[in-house]
Amino acid sequence: MRINVIYSGGTIGMVETDSGLAPGADLDTWLKELVSRRPTIGEVTLTEFETLIDSSNATPADWQALVDTLWNSRDDADGFVILHGTDTMAYASSALAFALRGFGKPVVLTGSQLPIGALDTDAYANVVDALMAITSGNVRGVALVFGRSIINGASATKWSSWNFEGFSSPNSPVLATTGAPWQWSDFGDKAFSSDVGDINKYDRHDVVVLDLVPGITATRVKAMLEPRPEAVILRAYGTGNIPADEPGLVDVLVEIVNDGVEVIVSSQCMQAHVVLGHYESGYALAELGVVSALNMTFEACYAKTIFLLSQGMHGKEFRDWMETPLCGELTLGTA
């Protein structure tokens, strides 16, 4: 099997410098050594991006650069591993899952909490697991591999900044847990979709993410939405509840919906299923014509919002697609 490893940046390939961790590790030699100890993995090549970034600097243009690189090298390998910074890796894996439906080859993102040169690095296990996820033949779309879990790309979330098992899949089963032997679930059959039309490139869109907190006022919310963004992801409580008794708050939301801003109601709970109108305090939202993030992770919800806006979708079309499962990001009934 031919696997192309693409290094885009992140801790995994960094070294200590006087001004903190920065890219500079000899990944090529490290990878060659690793593969020589696992000949069953096959032929592994390394592609390093010219500009290596800390993934906290990533924008939708970086997601698109990954998509373009993958399409341009599609015929050169049977599967791809992307070495990525962990900070925004779940956003990138979600974005790639939406844009690469129809790609037809496995793409696995991984990274590490510690650089390859650290004595107790988690990079070795994560990269070996990513390579083995591809050789298994069970990954048919985009996946994220970290800390012994193989997770559908559009279901992953970074829950810990330091834990070696720093990613989880809060709303759906993991694809596999590594071990001796690996335990695969049948979730991959539901997650990987090949149903796809033409896909526009990712571009930047003005999306406000608004966290509700006890005591927030309508005046503050109104000010945060001037000038009008294209979309608002409202991070509400629990199943999608808002402080509807706060004077003027619902009026502000009515105004932005009437102004054509897409409003997506997500939850502050990492594990959530948003049901608008389940409580009286969420009922006002249900009446407004907003759309529910249902049980998408926040990262998938944000990436899907940018994806649909990049496809030129607005209004009913945007809302209908937001609630339509594309690549395992909506997994109602499978948690």
**What are the residue numbers of the active site?**
11
The CA-CA-CA angle for residues 260, 226, 303, to 5°, reads 60
Distance CA(250)–CA(310), nearest Å, equals 28
| CB of 11 vs ligand ASP, minimal distance in Å | 3
Q: Residue 142 in contact with residue 93, Cβ under 8 Å?
A: yes
Nearer to ligand ASP, 52 or 107 (CB): 52
Residue 11 engages ligand ASP in binding (rule: CB under 6 A): yes
Query: CB neighbours of 157 closer than 8 A, spacing ≥ 6?
Result: 90, 167, 168, 169, 170, 270, 297, 298, 299
Residue 55 engages ligand ASP in binding (rule: CB under 6 A): yes
| CB of 158 vs ligand ASP, minimal distance in Å | 9
Single residue of 86, 241, 266, 305 touching ligand ASP by CB under 6 A? 86
Nearer to ligand ASP, 113 or 295 (CB): 113
Nearer to ligand ASP, 93 or 138 (CB): 93
Name the residue among 188, 100, 94, 85 with its Cα closest to residue 146. Answer: 85
Nearer to ligand ASP, 165 or 323 (CB): 165
Touching ligand ASP, residues 214-233 (CB under 6 A) = none
Single residue of 22, 48, 49, 54 touching ligand ASP by CB under 6 A? 54
| CB of 87 vs ligand ASP, minimal distance in Å | 3
Nearer to ligand ASP, 65 or 288 (CB): 65
Alpha carbon of 115 to those of 10, 12, 53: distances in Å?
A: 9, 4, 14
Residue with tokens 């008794």: 245
| CB of 21 vs ligand ASP, minimal distance in Å | 8
Q: Residue 274 in contact with residue 293, Cβ under 8 Å?
A: yes
Residue 56 engages ligand ASP in binding (rule: CB under 6 A): yes
CA dihedral 180, 181, 186, 192 (to 10 degrees): 80
Touching ligand ASP, residues 91-130 (CB under 6 A) = 111, 113
User: Which stretch, 84-92, 142-150, 176-184, 197-205, contacts ligand ASP (CB under 6 A)?
Assistant: 84-92
Name the residue among 186, 189, 124, 176 with its Cα closest to residue 150. Answer: 176
Pairing of strands 291-292, 142-146: unpaired
| CB of 106 vs ligand ASP, minimal distance in Å | 22
Residue 48 engages ligand ASP in binding (rule: CB under 6 A): no
Kindly determine how many residues on this chain lie close enough to bind ligand ASP according to the rule CB under 6 A.
11
Strand order in the sheet with 149-152: 43-53, 2-9, 79-83, 107-110, 142-146, 149-152, 176-177, 183-184
Nearest residue to the partner ligand ASP, using Cβ: 85
Rounded to 5 degrees, φ, ψ at 266 are: -115, 180
Q: Residue 96 in contact with residue 153, Cβ under 8 Å?
A: yes
User: Which stretch, 81-89, 90-98, 149-157, 193-201, contacts ligand ASP (CB under 6 A)?
Assistant: 81-89
Nearer to ligand ASP, 9 or 229 (CB): 9
| CB of 307 vs ligand ASP, minimal distance in Å | 21
Q: Residue 307 in contact with residue 203, Cβ under 8 Å?
A: no
Positions in the binding site for ligand ASP (CB under 6 A): 9-11, 54-56, 85-87, 111, 113
